[in-house]
Chain A
């Protein structure tokens, strides 16, 4: 009984003080960031989730990183490596005087131990592992990587924050790392799952001297504290941002653009272009192992309508065929005449010729990302018009993650990817991926592409690879889309990137 009274008193007190609490209290120099979900691990080596990359890059660093033009730049390494003529030996200088959060200082032994773990446990590291002959400390602050064969994407992999080649103190290296210790400008102070992750300034951080450029160069600890708040519902992120709760909110619905623009509290931030939606095709089993049917599928898709239904506003998508956007080194037009044919009559003929027997085409998708579902709905309509029997399997993201690993369960699953600085960073082209896309010509091009070190030759090879994507229908790129995030009005120094970071960011006065 007494408890009840106490609780009643609590309610009353809360009701009375309600309006006073509307403005959230926060320490000075604190930045609150709404992210799309909880990071399930703080070890970026073992995860390819973007949310893990976004969070961990603040406390864990890599040898290299990318500048704003996606060029590779040194971070914990002193400079770009010396690469031998044959492309087999990488000599990497390590910065002196860099401290880990546990107080120990970084040297070549830590780097070697970390890279070895990366080759063993990281999904991207494992891709390279069989090409690496050795990783050795060749001095207190020098590491040498020796390759069995030339592998041009190596530096990009070392620079990537996703399945990252993170540098940890040798002492904490283990199969699973519970308490992550890094060298980053911020360190973990407190983590309350699903509520917040509190990062505070690392006092012994030694920044690089070069001017800041993207993630490269100087990293200034302009705010004292960064708090990542997981907010899974996109609308809730919008409302939180507009009510002044967050200084930054990631991944907002295109529909909220207008409101953000009209608001005095927040500003929209458009990342243009962000990435590309993908219809991943099952080459291992089922209907789409038949190339003729794949070509019919490609012919039928109304890419423009799919994007329009999915994003609604020409500001948010581009019906663009090439695998890389305008302005990128990898841009080329090879094979793109097969993009966005939107010709259901032609597709119907192709189906007839292929002897299609009405076997359902199974599209596996989820509503975790609403645009995936919308694209699938429009695609279904067009495919049915072309004579396909379409079966939509709309499942939750977890189920999709499981089902797509079983080739017997799907023909197409829908996903998306940011535009990555190096084509080999995605496994879509690889015959070992879950798509299982393989033909002798393509496989040869891919091998040549990853062993070639000359950029001009690599560009030509990539054009051949792109032509293969269309001619053999390896997977289907559904144009390009932009991503919307939002910042508190007056927030300065935020770089538009798929993996936003908050060093160098200044709060308005």
Chain B
């Protein structure tokens, strides 16, 4: 067990290094000149070239890569070309909304989707089952930016139930800021609950069809006990998988949602950074997000170990 965890930790470092390398390459190959962009539309090509030199963008890519990796190892993700501020500082300023947006919407999705999914599988073919799948399917069939724009328009602008956009001003308290996340969390949560519901239901159906569940039933065990004791326990693996996957979806769903609601989170930052060709910020975000993903994967795998004794390592 300890050896396995250690092995996974080493693997994690390998993955992060891989990600780091890929991120560097992808970002550098993209067209677009950060210098021209920073100088504005009337700047001359000469000025742009001058700024490129100043920023070190004209050095050989291998030199840039080596410098980048050795600094990254020391926790220095470079300086944002756009903000002229350390990337770690820029990212730290954006973490809060993204973390809470993801957590709220995951929670929203889990609370809604898991019980309905289990019940729908248990009462397969019933009206509730049909209604649940249909709703889930509809929810998963609409582009999330469309839902976001509609909710923003009708629930926030017209009805005034929620703030339409943003994350509060200088005097907003923590609770105020969280208030700005409610509507975006719902929008993001809806799409993800559709996935979780369907997956939960599908897994439960798989399990309910299995022999040992039938055996338990035939032994006269009550239905509720069958579901809770046998089926739920065995369905945990796929559900954990899907929660892991959904968390990944959430973070990237946050990209679109933060854009619609103008929430200054990491998703919004990353889109702006791509448009601004702010290489260090893109790299930094990728590295931080990658680390989070890898940690989640590690936790997911360890959870397999705990809930399913059939998996041996």
Chain A interface (Cβ < 8 Å from any Cβ of B):
7-8, 10-11, 13-15, 17-27, 30, 32, 38, 40-41, 46-49, 52, 123-124, 126, 162-163, 178, 189-190, 192-196, 198, 227, 229, 231-233, 235-236, 239-240, 242-245, 395-399, 401-403, 405, 415, 427, 432-434
**A194 close to B264 (CB less than 8 A):** yes
Interface mask (B259-282 → A, CB under 8 Å = 1, otherwise 0): 111101000110010111100000
Most central of B37, B167, B268 by chain A CB within 10 Å: B37
Say yes or no: B179 contacts A17, CB within 8 Å. yes
Minimal Cβ-Cβ distance residue in B for A229: B166
A227 to B168, CA, bound (A): 11
* A401–B107 CB distance below 8 A: no
Q: Is the CB of B44 within 8 A of A192?
A: no
Pairwise interchain contact A401-B36, C-beta atoms closer than 8 A: yes
Complex: how many Å from CA A32 to CA B39? 26
Q: List 20 A-B contacts (CB under 8 A).
A: A11-B104, A14-B175, A14-B179, A23-B160, A46-B39, A49-B40, A123-B42, A126-B44, A189-B170, A192-B264, A193-B93, A233-B260, A239-B152, A243-B156, A245-B163, A245-B165, A245-B166, A397-B275, A398-B32, A402-B48
Chain A residue with Cβ nearest B38? A40
A22 touches B163 (CB 8 A): yes
Q: Which of B42, B160, B166, B276 contacts A124 (CB 8 A)?
A: B42
Closest 7 CB pairs of A and B: A21-B179, A402-B33, A48-B42, A14-B178, A48-B40, A243-B164, A398-B32
- Interface majority SS on B: helix, strand, loop or mixed? helix
B272 and A194 form a contact (CB under 8 A): yes
Asked whether A240 and B104 contact (CB < 8 A) given A18-B162, A123-B43, A405-B33, the answer is no
Q: How far, in whole Å, are A399 and B39 apart by their CA atoms in the complex?
A: 14
Number of interface residues of B (CB under 8 A): 65
Contact with A396, one of B93, B157, B268, B275 (Cβ below 8 angstroms): B275
**B170 close to A242 (CB less than 8 A):** no
Q: Which residue of B has the minimal Cβ distance to A49?
A: B40
B residues touching A (Cβ–Cβ < 8 Å)? Answer: 31-34, 36-45, 47-48, 82-85, 90, 93-94, 100, 103-104, 107-108, 149, 152-153, 156-157, 160-172, 175-176, 178-182, 259-262, 264, 268-269, 272, 274-277
Give the residue of B33, B41, B166 whose beta carbon is less than 8 angstroms from that of A240.
B166
Known contacts A47-B40, A236-B165: does B82 contact A7 (CB below 8 Å)?
no
Chain A residues in 8 Å Cβ range of B41: 48-49, 401, 415
* A433 to B37 CA separation, bound complex (whole angstroms): 17
A239→B163 contact, CB < 8 A: no
Given the complex of chains A and B, what is the CA–CA distance between A456 and B100 in angstroms? 64
